[in-house]
Amino acid sequence: MRLYDIGTHTERVSLEHAVFKGLSENGSLYMPESIPQLPPSFFEEIDQMSFSDLSFEVAKALIGDDIPENALRNIIEDAIDFPAPLVSLDEDCGVLELFHGPSLAFKDFGARFMARVMSYFLKKRGGHLHILVATSGDTGGAVAAGFYGTPNIRVSILYPSGKVSPLQEKQLTTWGKNITALEIKGSFDDCQALVKQAFTDPDLAHLPLSSANSINIARLIPQTFYYFEAFRQVPRERRERVVFSVPSGNFGNLTAGLIAKRMGLPAKFIAATNANRVVPDYLERAEFRPRPSIATLSNAMDVGNPSNFSRMLELYGSTWNIGGRGFWSVRGNFDPARVAAQLNHLRFYIMRGDFDPARRLTQLNHLRFHIMRGDFDATRAGRPAQSPLVRKKTMPFSPAIELSRNQRREAFWSVRGDFDPARVAAQLNHLGFQVMHGDSDPVRAGRRSSTTLGQGGERCSTWNMMREDVQGASFTDEETIQGIQKYFDKYHYTFDPHGAIGMLAWEKLRNEGEYGIILETAHPAKFLETMESALGRKVEIPRQLQAVADREKVSIVMEAGYEGFKGYLLKMGASEEIR
């Protein structure tokens, strides 16, 4: 399994490197160079597979020979030793219960798998490791449970003070041994920022730091498993139009589902959020605008700048320059946030020149990249950018016409340089545009490359392509409480605040003939006060939670500033001994 950094698309690393580093040298996330398609036989035989069997087949396809098959099977059987049942609500929908692991949250799948993969690689390479994890609720408890007692691995969990439920906090702060809880006076975004800054700090480069957040690719791999397990449990006659409604915060869970789709899972998705609705806003208006997180009852989704959104963009077109193969094109209204993600780290300028495919590499400095306007007008070429680009278009884009013009060696527009969304938005906003990459053959302009975008078809933008598979919806705390009450009365099913938002989103966006799968990501007892207030009755506490409820909380309270956190890491790094 080879992975690349999505910031520059230049760094290529192994799975082992990506697992231990978490982020690339420039602070970007890693993505697989290629996502394999599962063979038709996998889906033909899925009804006869156990959860462990199908998980192994999916993992083997993704990971390849980085982990030997016998070791990989042992990792999966040891890590995922609990079920993911699909509980039917009615003939059109069911609930995928992901809370049957030790910490009663879906994060158990990723944390336990990751702990065992790290342990496998650590035995090979030797040494020790310090795991940093930021949590808005469930991640920290799952990571603590997954890594507790793991030899040569220390874990530091950063959580926002006063912004997790009491039982969640007990799951973070009562472990001891190799688990340390850092209570940060700030938001989850502050916690996440501290972790990210630590990974790019040259003063900490000598420390063996890694991450267990969903920024780490090892967290996403096992999360793909239960999408296939859910599909296996859907009645065969309903499998053609499956929709997963995914409660979403940092969007690792939804990204895992989209990876499963790339592997062949026939499904669509709903991004269900609380008041932190930056991704539903993007899906609605093509504007991605991170903002400070808002505290809600569904606290695990209180994320204002979801890290995995950049991975979602990669899955829908931003892998255009991998290997310099082929080309891709995009047409649509210019959106600075979308194009910034696609063109980030390229130097930017607008130039005029005679188009000659043979001389293209010289003209464009070997970037294998150019942007051609859809309404080519040689008489306007060469004027200041503001002048030709804001005028009303006069001619549609046509590959044949462009070829004729290029043969006549007429002028064209191309761009590269330090990308300034505000400046380019003023020039190109609301104008149709074409982006082409690779072999600059105008005859092929507008076709898709099978290596980067998969199936052929009509040209469309990253935003439009994502919207073909993903819809978004968000709900207030008041609506969440009403949903918990409504679905308990209607189905006699107890949704936690996150699952209730998933169900609300499914009801809002469902279409005739679809089968909805709502991901119930945490046990409702983890939100005891909210649940008992909403339902007006006592909620039974599972034995796992009851066991930690009476334990003493132990945490290190810390300001949200980086220097204090850096000092803590340096102090911990001074001693290799893991408690």
Active-site residue numbers? 107
Pairing of strands 93-97, 515-520: parallel
Phi-psi region of 397 (alpha: psi -120 to 50; beta: other; left: phi over 0): beta
Residue 106 Cα to chain centre, angstroms: 15
80-86 long-range Cβ contacts below 8 angstroms, 24+ apart: 80/51, 80/52, 80/55, 80/109, 80/112, 80/113, 80/222, 80/225, 82/108, 83/51, 84/51, 84/109, 84/226, 84/229, 84/230, 85/233, 86/230, 86/233, 86/234, 86/517
The radius of gyration computed from the CA coordinates of the chain, to the nearest angstrom, equals 25
Residue located via tokens 């949250």: 105
Angle at 129 between CA 125 and CA 133, to 5 degrees: 135
Give, as one character, the DSSP assignment of residue 325.
-
Amino acid (1-letter code) at residue 565: F
Question: What are residue 137's phi and psi, to 5 degrees?
Answer: 160, -75
How far is it, in rounded angstroms, from Cα 107 to Cα 114? 11
**Tokens found for residue 305:** 């700048």
Pairing of strands 153-160, 179-185: parallel
How far is it, in rounded angstroms, from Cα 576 to Cα 579? 10
Largest CA distance in the chain: 81
Give, as one character, the DSSP assignment of residue 23.
S
Residues in the chain: 579
Q: Is 118 helix (H, G, I), strand (E, B) or coil?
A: helix
- What would the DSSP string read from start to end of 272-316? EESS--HHHHHHHHS----------SSGGG--SS-TTHHHHHIII
Residue 301 Cα to chain centre, angstroms: 13
